[in-house]
Each structure stands twice: as C-alpha cells, then as structure tokens.
Structure 1
Amino acid sequence: MAKSVFYSFHYDNDVYRVQLVRQIDALTGAPEITGQNWEEVRFKTEAAIQNWIDKEMNYKKAVIVLIGRRTAKRQYVQYEVERAWSMKKPLLGVRIHGLASLSDGPDSAGDDPFTALGMTGVPVFDPTQKDCYGRIDTKATFNELRRQLPYWAEQGVVRWP
C-alpha cells in the first residue's frame, strides 16, 4: 500500500520535476496541483494559504521536501517544514535537481532547507546519477529515485517533545 505524503516544493522552478516524482506512484501525495489552482491559492491572504497548507498536511503520514535549486529560500516551504516539525510528522528531503525539467535538463543542487532553518538530523537523500563524463544522467536519476523513494519515505525523522 502506498504511503500518503505531503510534498513540499518550489512550484515555479520545480513543478515539472515534481510531476515526475508523482509518476513513480510509490507514494500518494496531495492531489496534483495545476498552475490554475496554485494561482487561486497563492493570491489569497497569508493566513488563507497557511490554512490550506495545514488542511492538506493534516492527514498525511509524512512530509517530503523535494529540494531544487531555490527550495530552501521559499517562504511557504519554510512554513511547511516548520509546521511538519511542530505536528511531529516524519520529515525528510529528496533532491530533485537531477531530474529533467520541461524547459531544460538538470539544474544545480540547492541548499539544504533544514540546515537553513537550524534543524539538524533531518535526512536528505540524493538520487542524482552521473554518466562516464561526469554529467548528470536524468534518466538514470529518475530510475534511482523510483527504486529508492519507497525506502527513503520510511526514513523521516520526527521532533521529540
């Protein structure tokens, strides 16, 4: 049975990579968010956005931060991480910069969002695979992610009292 998770990510930069993660189908996340419904949510008040996040996260078993180049600096990713921590949800990160995007190939790795928030001990997994020339191999990275994601999803840490 697939584990129900909340995916935290930077929409503008990584939405296509996130859709690739969703295609793996090893885990179930929040309903697919489209550009249209994200536009509806993001232009609401900060309180309304936080309420939406809280509602989506509430019944999930774990929170996985899908880490791209700019993820650590995103206001709502930071809110989601802090909220998951306070709710004592298992929390972990998975780097997705090695996946292809719709407009180009792989990206550069981003900062660890947990370290940026002063949190230690939260695992960050990296499926990035390289070819014999040292270039990121997006297909091999996707295959490694597909192979490892169910196992990694069980490795999240929870805040102690």
Structure 2
Amino acid sequence: MARNAFYSFHYVPDNWRASQVRNMGVVEGNRPVSDNDWEAVKRGGEAAIKKWIDGQLYGRSVVVVLIGANTAGRKWINYEIEKGWSDRKGVLGIHVHNLKDSGGDQSYKGNNPFNDFTLGSTKLSSIVKTYDPPFTTSTSVYKHINDNVADWIEQAIEIRGQY
C-alpha cells in the first residue's frame, strides 16, 4: 500500500538533509515549501501556520520527524507531532545528523523530540520508534534510511493502531 508521509524538520539547518530523505522516492511525501512560501505563511501568524500544517497533514498516513541537532522542543515540530498523533497517524523519528548538508558538513545528534510528550504517565518516546542509523558516513546513513524507511513507516502505523 502506498503511504503518504508528512516530513517534520527544523528548516534552516536541516532542509538539505530532509530533502535527501524526501527525495529517496520510497514513500510519497509532502511537496517541499519554498522559502518565499513559508515566509508568506508565517506572516499570517499562528492561526495561518496551524492551518497550513493541518492542510499539509491532511491525507497523510504518517508523520516522519527528521531529527537534527536542534529539532526537539521546537514549537511547530511539537505541534506537528501532537497533531499527527491526535489525528491517529503513524509517528516516527529518524536521526539525520550524519547526513551531509549542502556544505558537506555533518551535525551532532539531537535529543529525542518524543521525550517532551506523555500519554498518561507514559512518555511518547517509549511508544514511538526513533531510528538512529548505525553509521557515520553520509552515504551509509542514506543507504540505511533508504533501505528501511518503508518498513519503519509501516511499523509506526501499526503501533499507532494499538493506542
């Protein structure tokens, strides 16, 4: 079954890394937003941003949080996680710090953004799977994500169905 993914990520430092994952072609993803489009959405204020995110999430099967150095705790990423979960979508995280950016640089591993959420007394991070490719070279990290992301997505959807 073809899955449609919504990719959540910290734009400025991780957009290049995110585009690598989004362009793998393994799953269908949301259309990239240009800098100009995003600036126009932001000028509309919080209500406009929420409306845009909600529209982007509509019809998606899963929220894939691409975790960079500073992803955890960001307001709109938190909103995307919360909205995806409450809309009964699969949710998962993939650490992308070892993918190179446009300058050829890697980053450092960021915190798990799911640690900031609880279901009753259970941390969401104990339910939602987060994957950290076990490689340090960008090409190996890319291959690992490419080889596994479809299975990770199916597992996230299955896990969400249990809660």
Taking structure 1 as the reference length, the TM-score comes to 0.89
Cross-structure match for 1:69: 69
Task: State how far apart, in whole Å, the 2-side matches of 1:56 and 1:124 are.
Answer: 22
What is the count of residue pairs matched by the alignment? 155
CA RMSD in angstroms, aligned pairs only: 1.6
Higher helix proportion, which one? 2
Q: 1:159 to 1:113 in 2, by over 3 A?
A: farther
Identical residues among aligned pairs (%) = 32
| Deviation, structure 1 residue 103 | 2.3
User: Tell me, what secondary structure is at the counterpart of 1:76?
Assistant: helix
Q: State which drifts further: 33-42 or 141-150.
A: 33-42
4+ aligned runs moved over 4 Å, structure 1: none
Cross-structure match for 2:121: none
User: Tell me, what secondary structure is at the counterpart of 1:52?
Assistant: helix
Task: State how far apart, in whole Å, the 1-side matches of 2:161 and 2:71 are.
Answer: 21
**Residue identity opposite 1:126 in structure 2:** D
Taking structure 2 as the reference length, the TM-score comes to 0.88
1:158 to 149, 157, 160: 160
Cross-structure match for 1:102: 102
| Deviation, structure 1 residue 15 | 0.3
Q: 1:111 to 1:77 in 2, by over 3 A?
A: same
Task: State how far apart, in whole Å, the 2-side matches of 1:143 and 1:2 are.
Answer: 20
2:127 to 116, 121, 124: 121
Task: State how far apart, in whole Å, the 2-side matches of 1:159 and 1:37 are.
Answer: 34
| Structure 2: tracts of 5 or more residues without a match | 119-123
Corresponding position: 1:143 with 2:143: yes
